[in-house]
C-alpha cells in the first residue's frame, strides 16, 4: 500500500508539489532560525564566561552587589588560600584569579610630554603562567593584531582602536593613572608588546591587558583579586553542577552580616544571563510550535482544495466498498510521505544557509557602535544534530495534521448519493 501511495504522489505531482514546497519553506526557516538564534545565544554565554563571569565566580559579598562598578576596595584578599582550597575540593575545575580596574592611559611624545590621554578598561589575568590556559581561554594569541602576548612583567596589550587613535605601536611606553584598592593614587609605566582586537565594543574601546602580578603590585592588592573564576573541564558550562557547587560553597563561607565574606555565583545568575539561557532553552520549542500551527493552517486549506479535486476519486473508492477509515488512513500515510520529502528538502536548504553562517559569521559591530553589552560582534549559527532532527518535526506534524483536518470530510460523505454523483 505504501509503495502504491508513493507512486501516486510521484505520478500525480499536482497534489504533492505545493504541499512539498510549503513544508520545505517551513522546515527551512525552522532550521535556519533555530541554528542562528542558538548560535548567537551560545556565543553570548561563552563570551561572558571567558571574560567576566567564568562558569562560577567567587568574590566578596559587597563586590558582588556592586560588580558593575568594580570597586577595588572590596577586592577578595587571601586569594591564594581560597584558590588552593577550591582546587583541592574540585580538582576537575580550573580556578583563575582576575582583576578588573579602570583609569586613565597617558601617551607621551618623544619629549616625554603628554600627547594624548584616554580612559581605559583594564583587565589583569595570570598571563605568564602557561599552565592555566588563560591565553587560550581569552583567545589572546588569535586576536592580536600586531606584536605578541606579554612574556614578562611590565608589558601590556592595548586595544587596536586605542592604538590607532593614539598612533601607538609595539615598543612604545604608556603610563597608567588610577587609584589603589586603598584609595591612594597610583601610576605605572608599561611597554606595549602588542595590540589586540576582541571584536567586543566593551573591551575594544580602551582595553588594557596586563599580567595579574603587575596589577597586584600597582593596585596594592598583594594576594588579592577582584574575582576568582572557575571553569569546568572541557570548557562547557554545566548549570546544575554550577548551582550545586555554589550552594555548597555559600553554605560554609558566606556570612550575610560580613560584607567581606566570600560568595560564589554561577554564570546563570550573572550579567542578566538567566533570562538569556532560559530563552535559549525554550526558543526551539516556541519556533517549532509557531511553524507547526502556521503550516497546519496552510496545509489544511491545501488539503481541502485537493479533496475537492479528488472528490470523485473518493466517491469511486467508497462505491467499490472501500471503508472510510481505510481511505482516511491512506491519506495520512500519503501526507507522511509528502511531509518527509518536503522536510528533506527543507533541511538541505536550511543547512545550506546555516553552515556558511556558522563558518564565516556576520559582522554586526558597525550596527551597534555604542553597545556596552558583552555580546559577540560576529553572529554565527550553531548547527547541531538536534537542530537537524528538530527540522523534521514541524514538516511531518504540520502536513499530517493539515491532512487529518481536511480528510475529515470523507466521513461526511453520504454513500447513498455516490452513484448519483458519479452519473453527473
Whether 42 and 69 share a structural domain: no
Q: Which domain holds residue 21?
A: 2-47+275-423
* Same domain, yes or no: 89 and 221: yes
Whether residues 206 and 70 fall in one domain = yes
Total domain count, the chain: 2
Per-residue pLDDT of the chain (424 residues; tens, 9 = 90+): 556 556 656 555 566 777 888 888 888 888 888 888 878 877 878 888 888 888 999 999 999 888 777 788 889 888 888 899 999 998 889 999 999 998 899 988 877 788 888 888 889 999 988 788 888 888 888 888 899 999 999 999 998 888 888 888 899 999 999 999 988 899 899 999 999 987 666 667 778 899 999 999 999 988 889 999 999 988 788 888 999 999 999 998 888 888 889 999 998 888 777 776 676 667 667 767 777 777 777 766 766 666 556 666 666 766 677 777 777 787 788 888 888 888 889 899 989 999 998 888 776 666 554 444 456 667 788 888 877 887 787 778 877 887 777 776 666 655 555 555 555 5
CB environment 304-340: b (16+ within 10 A), e (fewer) = bebbeeeeeebbebbeeeeebeebbebbebbbbbbbe
**100 and 181 share one domain:** yes
Domain's final residue, options 211, 231, 251 = 231
| Residue at grid coordinates 599552565 | 131
For residue 369, the SS3 value is coil
Is residue 400 within 8 A of residue 335, CB to CB? The reply is yes
99 shares its domain with 209:
yes
Out of 166, 201, 231, a domain closes at 231
The reply to whether 318 and 220 lie within a common domain is no
pTM score over 0.75: no
Alpha carbons 129 and 65: distance in angstroms, whole number: 30
Judge whether 179 lies within some domain: yes
Cβ atoms 284, 38 nearer than 8 A? yes
The residue among 231, 256, 290 that closes a domain is 231
Query: Do 227 and 323 belong to one domain?
Result: no
Q: Are residues 41 and 163 in the same domain?
A: no
Amino acid at each position: 500500500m505504501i509503495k502504491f501511495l508513493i507512486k501516486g504522489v510521484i505520478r500525480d505531482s499536482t497534489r504533492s508539489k505545493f504541499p512539498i514546497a510549503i513544508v520545505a519553506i517551513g522546515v527551512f526557516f525552522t532550521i535556519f532560525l533555530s541554528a542562528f538564534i542558538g548560535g548567537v545565544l551560545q556565543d553570548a554565554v561563552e563570551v561572558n564566561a571567558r571574560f567576566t563571569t567564568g562558569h562560577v565566580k567567587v568574590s566578596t559579598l559587597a563586590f558582588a552587589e556592586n560588580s558593575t562598578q568594580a570597586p577595588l576596595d572590596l577586592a577578595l584578599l587571601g586569594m591564594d588560600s581560597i584558590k588552593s582550597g577550591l582546587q583541592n575540593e574540585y580538582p576537575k575545575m580550573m580556578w583563575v584569579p582576575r582583576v578588573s580596574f579602570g583609569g586613565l592611559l597617558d601617551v607621551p611624545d618623544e619629549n616625554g610630554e603628554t600627547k594624548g590621554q584616554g580612559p581605559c578598561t583594564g583587565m589583569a589575568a595570570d598571563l605568564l603562567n602557561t599552565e592555566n590556559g588563560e591565553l587560550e581561554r581569552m583567545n589572546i594569541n588569535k586576536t592580536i593584531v600586531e606584536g605578541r602576548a606579554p612574556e614578562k612583567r611590565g608589558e601590556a596589550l592595548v586595544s587596536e582602536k586605542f592604538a590607532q587613535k593614539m598612533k601607538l605601536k609595539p615598543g612604545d611606553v604608556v603610563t597608567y593613572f588610577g587609584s589603589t584598592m586603598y584609595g591612594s593614587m597610583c601610576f605605572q609605566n608599561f611597554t606595549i608588546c602588542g595590540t589586540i582586537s576582541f571584536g567586543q565594543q566593551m573591551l575594544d574601546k580602551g582595553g588594557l591587558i596586563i599580567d595579574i602580578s603587575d596589577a597586584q603590585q600597582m593596585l596594592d592588592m598583594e594576594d588579592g583579586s577582584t574575582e576568582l573564576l572557575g571553569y569546568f573541564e572541557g570548557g562547557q558550562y554545566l548549570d546544575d553542577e554550577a548551582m550545586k557547587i555554589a550552594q555548597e560553597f555559600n553554605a560554609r563561607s558566606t556570612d550575610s552580616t560580613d560584607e567581606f565574606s566570600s560568595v560564589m555565583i554561577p554564570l546563570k545568575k550573572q550579567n542578566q544571563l538567566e533570562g538569556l539561557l532560559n530563552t535559549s532553552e525554550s526558543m526551539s520549542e516556541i519556533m517549532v510550535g509557531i511553524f507547526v500551527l502556521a503550516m497546519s493552517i496552510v496545509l489544511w486549506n491545501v488539503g481541502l482544495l485537493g479533496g475537492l479535486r479528488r472528490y470523485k476519486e473518493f466517491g469511486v473508492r467508497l462505491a467499490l466498498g472501500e471503508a472510510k477509515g481505510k481511505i482516511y488512513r491512506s491519506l495520512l500515510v500519503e501526507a507522511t510521505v509528502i511531509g518527509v520529502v518536503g522536510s528533506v528538502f527543507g533541511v538541505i536548504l536550511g543547512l545550506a544557509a546555516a553552515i556558511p553562517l556558522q563558518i564565516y559569521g556576520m559582522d554586526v559591530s558597525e550596527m551597534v557602535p555604542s553597545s556596552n553589552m558583552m555580546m559577540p560582534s560576529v553572529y554565527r549559527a550553531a548547527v547541531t544534530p538536534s537542530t537537524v532532527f528538530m527540522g523534521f518535526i514541524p514538516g511531518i506534524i504540520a502536513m499530517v495534521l493539515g491532512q487529518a483536518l481536511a480528510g475529515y470530510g470523507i466521513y461526511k460523505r453520504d454513500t447513498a448519493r455516490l452513484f448519483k454523483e458519479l452519473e453527473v
